Amino acid sequence: MVRFRIAPAHYDGSNEAREREWELALADLNADCDGGLPTLTFERRRDGGADIVVAGPAGAAPARVSFPYARLRSQLREYRDVIGKMARADGGWAGSRDFDALDYAKKLVHDEAGDIIKAKLDDHVVVEHPLARRMFTVIFLLSNNLPRHLVNRHRRHGSAG
């Protein structure tokens, strides 16, 4: 079973709320991890996307799988829009059907992003679709400088996301 981490350099200068959210997302990914190889390390790209470095046994060259921002732009923007609407809905404008619709929209974005992530990783490591969906959360968190009021909102409603 793979193990996940975020490149240590990303913790330099980041705020506590952001680090806490990264750690929650990693804990979710690593919940079933047996500590074995490979290790997948998330790195933020300068273009706003992410790379996943797949490190296998000692001595083996790691593989870098790139997810440029342009490739995930649609999913990253849609996801940010959905969680923004969820945060505003907490202000009282939405009913339960609205939350259900937003939660479903969040699920669709995760499904689509999971397909992309799984397909790109398939040559290097086997990742099941549900895990690839959760990996999108880490990519999203690394690629977005969320306002404080949104930092925790992406995981507050339902289990579809």
Q: For position 7, what pLDDT does the model report?
A: 95
Distances (CA, A) of 100 to 28, 80, 103, 105, 115: 23, 17, 5, 9, 23
Q: For position 98, what pLDDT does the model report?
A: 77
Contact 106, 134 (CB under 8 A): no
Q: Which of 42, 53, 56, 58 is nearest to 143 (CA)?
A: 42
Task: For residue 145, give the DSSP letter.
Answer: -
| Reported pTM | 0.86
Contact 136, 113 (CB under 8 A): yes
Q: For position 159, what pLDDT does the model report?
A: 44
Determine the Cα angle at 25 with ends 24 and 31, to 5°: 85
Q: Give the max Cα distance, the chain.
A: 56
Contacts of 91 (CB under 8 A, 6+ apart): none
Q: For position 147, what pLDDT does the model report?
A: 64
**Residue the block writes with tokens 């969040």:** 106
Cis peptide, bond prior to residue 130, ω within 30 of zero: no
Q: Is 44 helix (H, G, I), strand (E, B) or coil?
A: strand
- Residue-by-residue pLDDT tens, the chain, 161 positions: 688 999 999 988 888 888 888 999 999 999 987 777 789 999 999 999 999 999 977 778 899 999 999 999 999 999 999 988 887 776 666 566 777 888 899 999 999 999 999 999 999 998 999 999 999 999 999 998 776 666 555 554 444 45
What number of other Cβ atoms are within 10 A of residue 43's Cβ? Answer: 16
